[in-house]
Amino acid sequence: MLDLNSRILIFGGGGTIGSSTALHLARKGYRNIRVLDVYPIPSAQSAGNDLNKIMGISLRNPVDRQLSLEAEDAWSNDPTFTAYYHRSGRLDCCGSPDGIEDLENTIAKLKDAGLGHTVEWLDTEAQIIRRVPQLAGSDIQGWKGIFFEQGGWLAAAKAIDSVGRELVRHGVQFSFGDSGTFQSLILSNDGKTCLGATTKDGTQYIADRVVLASGAWTPSLVDLEDQCCSKAWVYAHMQLTSEEIKEYADCPVVYNEDLGFFFEPDEHGIIKVCDEFPGFTRYKMHQPFGTPEPKSVSVPRSHARHPTDTYPDASEITINKAIAALLPKFKDKELFNRAMCWCADTADANLLICEHPRWKNLFVATGDSGHSFKLLPIIGKHVVELLEGTLQEDLRESWRWRPGSGDARKSRRAAPAEDLADLPGWKHDPATDTKTQANLTVQ
Ligand code: FAD
């Protein structure tokens, strides 16, 4: 039985789902919470440690809809989060036949859900430009669009930082660095119950519950029986001049499922651009805790630990294609902060939040599938319900342990992810970068 004095460890507590879990435990009065992470909150390698993320209502299934409506309410009303929600609105737009069909399906689903009044169908180029004048110079002939009044973007890293400050006020304990880095579980003599965990520096933490919310790293830490596949997505930044900042201030998030998306400039005039593609894996032989021998696992390689990593040459082409279509006047601007950021896909794109069937009292909270930052204010509430045994039945069903139920490498994306081993251009380690080596030789 869990009570307010129970000792609870949250690995990945400097990231999105982990920090939210700690927040909701603390708000309920739990007194023995320890947040552990490789980096201090907001963790430098969290997928949520970013300038911005899209906030929107997901209609994919009833569970996603419920969660995103709860999240919209929390971003709008919870004082820990309101300052980080920018209600710029969002334009989903497309010119390809498949893309237009998807937009039509979205409108139909919104109407079915009683949300038709929150959006506007944009049937012509002129209607799109009326809503987003910044697209005036773009070649959008034949494009259709949906304008979402609700929604916009979230100042992601700042929001996790706000959670961190609230955790400090609640007296939550923290372990970062080697003493916060998960290494292995401490098991009972019969090997069936998790009694705590050991970290990289050898510290042993005894606990009543262990939550592993370590995002894309989770499949390389414990055996998830191939239910999650870690994949990287990419972004790049560009700097606007003061005149350009004025022009793009309050621009809605513009999203095109064939090309990518961009956000209005932040307070320093930086625009983030992402392309749309099925993600990159990084398969290697690796032995997660609980597997008898090494197996093939996609293992993240974080920008925080490898700051010279950028992204594959192929991404430079697709990001520039998105810029040429969506931001043509900036097509010659220099890009910087090219980076990969890691998520954990499941086969059905639903979360994986459940007790591990092999080890009682170990709970995994992962499987974000690239669309879960928006859940930051509320996802932890449901993780706490799981720990307390009160999780709603449909959420429990959607997030259950489900090996063999599909291919996480493909997930619900247009194609399987390509592997970074086959893609040049992203790795610039001094020892492997031929250009740098050449320079060294010359000197
Ligand atoms: P993370 O936030 O990554 O947290 C995992 C944590 O585990 C990290 O802090 C890490 O340091 C820690 N960790 C790793 N290894 C260990 C270890 N050994 N011991 C202890 N701790 C460890 N979502 C949206 O809702 N809207 C968007 O617009 C959106 N855009 C995105 C764009 C890009 C380019 C990417 C990559 C993702 C995007 N997402 C978006 C997805 C969103 O960022 C993720 O779904 C979400 O942040 C994942 O949360 P998480 O808690 O599972 O993982």
Instruction: Report how far ligand 1's centroid is from the alpha carbon of 31 (Å).
Output: 26
ipTM of the complex as predicted: 0.99
Instruction: Report how far ligand 1's centroid is from the alpha carbon of 50 (Å).
Output: 10
Q: Which atom of ligand 1 is closest in space to residue 344's alpha carbon?
A: 52
Tell me the pLDDT tens digit for each residue of 99-123: 999 999 999 999 998 989 999 999 9
What CA–CA distance (Å, rounded) separates 295 from 77? 45
pLDDT at residue number 432: 53
Q: In this structure, are residues 371 and 254 in contact, taking their beta carbons and an 8 Å threshold?
A: no
Nearest Cα residue to 207 out of 341, 8, 41, 409: 8
pLDDT at residue number 430: 79
Region 7-89+150-420: CATH code: 3.50.50.60
pLDDT at residue number 414: 86
pLDDT at residue number 337: 98
Q: Which atom of ligand 1 is closest in space to residue 19's alpha carbon?
A: 51
Distances (CA, A) of 327 to 117, 240, 255, 320, 331: 29, 12, 12, 10, 7
pLDDT at residue number 202: 98
For atom 42 of ligand 1, which residue has the closest CA? Answer: 373
Q: Which residues contact 328 (CB under 8 A, 6 or more apart)?
A: 137, 138, 139
Structure tokens given for 249: 């201030």
Residue 116 φ then ψ, to 5°: -55, -35
pLDDT at residue number 441: 30
Mutate to test the pocket of ligand 1, among 10, 38, 273 (most ligand atoms within 8 A of CB): 38
Task: Look at the alpha carbons of 9, 295, 224, 17 in this order and tell me if their dihedral is positive or negative.
Answer: positive
Q: Which atom of ligand 1 is closest in space to residue 20's alpha carbon?
A: 51
> In this structure, what DSSP letter does residue 289 have?
B
For atom 53 of ligand 1, which residue has the closest CA? Answer: 215
What CA–CA distance (Å, rounded) separates 301 from 38? 13
pLDDT at residue number 343: 98
Structure tokens given for 10: 């949250």
> In this structure, what DSSP letter does residue 247 have?
H
Residue type, 267: E
Structure tokens given for 254: 């513009």
Instruction: Report how far ligand 1's centroid is from the alpha carbon of 253 (Å).
Output: 20
145 Ramachandran zone, left/alpha/beta (phi>0; psi -120 to 50): beta
pLDDT at residue number 438: 37
pLDDT at residue number 436: 41
pLDDT at residue number 284: 97
Mutate to test the pocket of ligand 1, among 9, 214, 299, 318 (most ligand atoms within 8 A of CB): 214
Q: So where are the chain's domains? A: 7-89+150-420
Mutate to test the pocket of ligand 1, among 20, 34, 37, 72 (most ligand atoms within 8 A of CB): 37
Parts of the chain with a pLDDT under 50: 433-443
Q: In this structure, are residues 372 and 260 in contact, taking their beta carbons and an 8 Å threshold?
A: no
Structure tokens given for 117: 């009044």
Q: In this structure, are residues 248 and 84 in contact, taking their beta carbons and an 8 Å threshold?
A: no
Q: Which atom of ligand 1 is closest in space to residue 199's alpha carbon?
A: 19
pLDDT at residue number 147: 97
Mutate to test the pocket of ligand 1, among 21, 36, 46 (most ligand atoms within 8 A of CB): 46
∠ Cα 336 338 343 (to 5°): 150
pLDDT at residue number 11: 99
Rounded to an integer, what is the distance from CA 99 to the centroid of its chain?
Answer: 23
Q: Any residues with Cβ below 6 Å from ligand 1, and which?
A: 11-12, 14-18, 36-39, 43, 45-48, 53-54, 180-182, 213-215, 217, 221, 233, 235, 274, 341, 343, 366, 368, 370-374
pLDDT at residue number 431: 66
User: What share of the chain has pLDDT > 70, as a percent?
Assistant: 97
pLDDT at residue number 223: 96
Using only C-alpha atoms, the chain has a radius of gyration, in whole angstroms, of: 22
Residue 194 φ then ψ, to 5°: -85, 125
pTM confidence score:
0.96
Tell me the pLDDT tens digit for each residue of 348-390: 999 999 999 999 999 999 999 999 999 999 999 999 999 999 9
Neighbours of 351 (CB within 10 A): 28
Instruction: Report how far ligand 1's centroid is from the alpha carbon of 435 (Å).
Output: 32
Instruction: Report how far ligand 1's centroid is from the alpha carbon of 217 (Å).
Output: 9
Size of the chain in residues: 443
Instruction: Report how far ligand 1's centroid is from the alpha carbon of 16 (Å).
Output: 6
Strand partners, 298: 283
Q: Which residues contact 412 (CB under 8 A, 6 or more apart)?
A: 347, 348, 349
Mutate to test the pocket of ligand 1, among 24, 53, 60, 281 (most ligand atoms within 8 A of CB): 53
